[in-house]
Amino acid sequence: MAEKEFSTYKGKPLVRCGDELYYGSMSERFVIHMLIKSKKTVGDTEIADKVTIQLLCTDPDLSPRKQLVKSSDKQGLYTALDVAEVWLNRALKA
């Protein structure tokens, strides 16, 4: 079976399903989960307004509460992606 190709952001996979996004690879120790909490309309386009970012440990042996390392709410998807990239890079280097 061929490996599925995902969209990327700054060299890491970015997968979206509805209002949820995952940034990073599940094969690495950490991944980012983003949840779009609210949207606003600009012109004819609906854009993300409030986004929750979570840095998660991918260790399946941990309980869901212990998998959550860090969480924050940001205004706008681009701000959330920038913060997510910094968090993920720092976590993977540690």
pLDDT in tens, 22-37: 999 999 999 999 999 9
In tens, the pLDDT along 47-81 reads 999 999 999 999 999 998 999 999 999 999 999 99
Length of the chain: 94
The arrangement of strands across the sheet holding 12-17 comes to: 7-9, 12-17, 20-23, 30-42, 45-57, 68-75
| Bridge partners of residue 23, in order along the sequence | 14, 32
Q: Distance (Å, rounded) from C-alpha 50 to C-alpha 7?
A: 22
User: What is the reported pTM?
Assistant: 0.88
